[in-house]
Structure 1
Amino acid sequence: MSKVLVTGGSGYLATQLIAALLREGREVRATVRSTAAREAGLRAAVRRGGADDAGLEVVAADLMADDGWPAALAGCDEVHHVASPIPATRPEDPDELIVPAREGVLRVLRAARDAGARRTVLTSSFAAIGYTPKPDADYTEDDWTDPDTPGLAPYPRSKAIAERAAWDLMEREGGGLELVVVNPTFILGPTLTTDLRMSAQLVKSMLDGTLSVLPRQYFGVADVRDVADLHLRAMAAPDAAGRRFLALADGPTMSFRDVAETLRRRLGGWAARVPTREAPGEEPRRPVIHNDRARKELGWTPRPAETTIVEAAESLRDLGLLAPMA
């Protein structure tokens, strides 16, 4: 059986995906921008996920450079393209986000095609689906975010542009390569890595009390473990080629206040610093997001959102990443 390539290997989702592949007995090659900076943390993370990292090879490849990608793809029949830039702060120039997202996905898809890979499963986002307002606020995989939506932030614009570019490339010059896209909502759940990304940082900031006022916004939640599982199912199902799959936890969309109340109710005293006050303003619309396609076509069964939120917090505690109580 050939190796599986996972890009962005040291990330929140990628470490869960790599651990799942290794637990299945697959040999995995993971790309990181720098092996010196990332390899040790990646290996520690997959071991936390109950996997033996002996079957893991870590190589360096950058989304903005051609060097390294032919070697990374050599001998890989399956590619999970998870890597994507997510800035800590909103960039002044949207192209700082859009160009790496678009050029990175095109670079990986071309390298996969040229290496003779069978299929690539791409992590896109609900941001590529549901950030253009609709009268009914009801979203499925048939919806697309219009990059020219007035006031659209750089991140959803980058996700819509990058995913469109991927599908356009497949239509024009995909060769024998198949593409499947996974569109997760806001990814939460337990972290295997101590290098926290945006979603885990949100839970940490609530528990540490550094987030004092809750934004008024509704969003979907997807468990990081379930998104990894959806990647595996999307790779394995023959009929998934050419399809998009929304990833959403079991249950309705949530507000930041819902998340805060879940933490306070389920975690007791060590969630005492979680804020309860919402920012002033009108109550936003609650979107309805459908995950029927993944459930019906791939047999995917997501966890309840409350489980995802609680176990995200517990992982931060267990890794010693929370500020001590005063």
Structure 2
Amino acid sequence: MTNKLVVVTGGSGFIASHIIIQLLQQGYSVRTTIRSPKKIDLIKTLLTNGGITDFTNLSFMEADLTSDDNWKAVMAGATYVIHPASPTPTLNFKNEDEMIRPAVDGVLRVLRSAKNAGVKRVVLTSAYGAIFAGHKNRTTPYTEKDWSDLSSKKIHPYQKSKTMSERAAWDFIKNQDSLELATVNPVAVMGPVLASDYSHSNIQIQELLEGKIKAVPNVDSGYVDVRDVASLHLKAMVSPKAKNQRFLATTGETLSMLDVANILREEFPKYANKLPKKTIPNIAVKTAAMGNQQLKMIASLVGEYAETSNKKADTILDWHPRSSRVAIIATAQSMIDLGIVK
């Protein structure tokens, strides 16, 4: 057992809550940041539903990624920092800077305050979006060596914000002697939802089961279980081999949205008649997205190559995730159990 202090940013987040559960189970002390004390009850509900019964080693501190206030106190005495929090993206932005600036500034604020406090290593939750976007005619699986192409006309501001904030982190760390960095770049994150306040990546499953999606766009993606994403963060936090490395959190499988619907149909026959059986032609998605900011991200992904490899995390960190199917079923089952699926 260890009593080292780990700071986890944004404790009410989907990935963050699962990271906190595993840290507490492994005997770490955890201090998590919240934007408002109103979040404390929610976080305790998430952790209780995830199996935590003792909150002795957990503390809360208010801090916001858009302000310098309190970060010095947040970092005091910490050995490690895990940074999954990200300023909430607005999809109805007027210009892309509204998405990019807060993401970059937030990462740098965390790194600066970690460095000043003598933290050993920061693990940043980046994204697959910092790896795959804007590539042309791809035929080999994406790996940690890949970076999204910021010069591409096709790159969505969300992926741009993820790429630029991770790039800023690596630029910052280049000039540091003591502080180490590792990043975890997950594909679409599924797995057990722990409360009715949940992440946007799971809404797709809810909408499929509720019959809100009559046909799906032709989008391929990797899917990974949040419990495995959390365990990869913990491995990246302590392994000497993870120092200054990126890790793609993926099972290495690629599924279409229709594959996801078919998994749900097989596993939850009660919902079978609500699940889509058809795909929408690519041109129809792209045309619809012209006047709809919410659809632009989906439109940028239709028909795109999406194969990924987890060889690095497997080889260096001995990380072996559950299958995508298990992750998707766990999402759906938890949403049904919590009464989220109407």
TM-score past 0.5 threshold: yes
TM-score class, shorter-chain normalisation, is over 0.9
Gaps of 5+ in 1: none
Of 115-124 and 143-152, more deviation after overlay is shown by 143-152
- Aligned residues of 1:86 and 1:155 also touching (Cα < 8 A): no
Give the equivalent residue in structure 1 for 2:143. Answer: 140
- Post-superposition offset of 1:268: 1.0
The reply on whether 1:317 has 2:336 as its aligned counterpart is: yes
CA distance in 2, matches of 1:155, 1:64: 17
- % same residue: 41
Distance 1:106 1:55, change over 3 A: same
Q: Deviations over 1:74-94 (max 9, x none)?
A: 111100000013436352321
Give the equivalent residue in structure 2 for 1:162. Answer: 165
CA distance in 2, matches of 1:295, 1:128: 20
CA distance in 2, matches of 1:110, 1:299: 30
CA distance in 2, matches of 1:253, 1:120: 29
Distance 1:90 1:271, change over 3 A: farther
State the AA in 1 paired with 2:266. Answer: R
CA distance in 2, matches of 1:136, 1:281: 18
The count of corresponding residues between Structure 1 and Structure 2 is: 320
Give the equivalent residue in structure 1 for 2:218. Answer: 216
Q: Provide TM-score, normalisation by structure 1.
A: 0.94
State the AA in 1 paired with 2:85. Answer: A
Gaps of 5+ in 2: 284-301
Q: Deviations over 1:120-140 (max 9, x none)?
A: 000000100111214334311
Give the equivalent residue in structure 2 for 1:273. Answer: 274
Question: Which residue of the other structure, out of 294, 303, 311, is the alignment partner of 1:284?
Answer: 303
The reply on whether 1:179 has 2:181 as its aligned counterpart is: yes
CA distance in 2, matches of 1:91, 1:217: 24
The reply on whether 1:82 has 2:84 as its aligned counterpart is: yes
Question: Which residue of the other structure, out of 321, 325, 332, is the alignment partner of 1:306?
Answer: 325
CA distance in 2, matches of 1:49, 1:21: 12
Question: Which residue of the other structure, out of 148, 152, 155, is the alignment partner of 1:152?
Answer: 155
Of 56-65 and 277-286, more deviation after overlay is shown by 277-286
Spell out the pairing of 1:2-13 with structure 2 (5 A cutoff).
2-13=4-15
The reply on whether 1:255 has 2:256 as its aligned counterpart is: yes
- Post-superposition offset of 1:148: 2.3
- Aligned residues of 1:85 and 1:100 also touching (Cα < 8 A): yes
- Aligned residues of 2:35 and 2:62 also touching (Cα < 8 A): yes
- Aligned residues of 1:7 and 1:30 also touching (Cα < 8 A): yes
Q: Deviations over 1:254-291 (max 9, x none)?
A: 11111111100111113431222211137824422110
- Post-superposition offset of 1:198: 1.2
- Aligned residues of 2:63 and 2:70 also touching (Cα < 8 A): yes
- Post-superposition offset of 1:182: 0.5
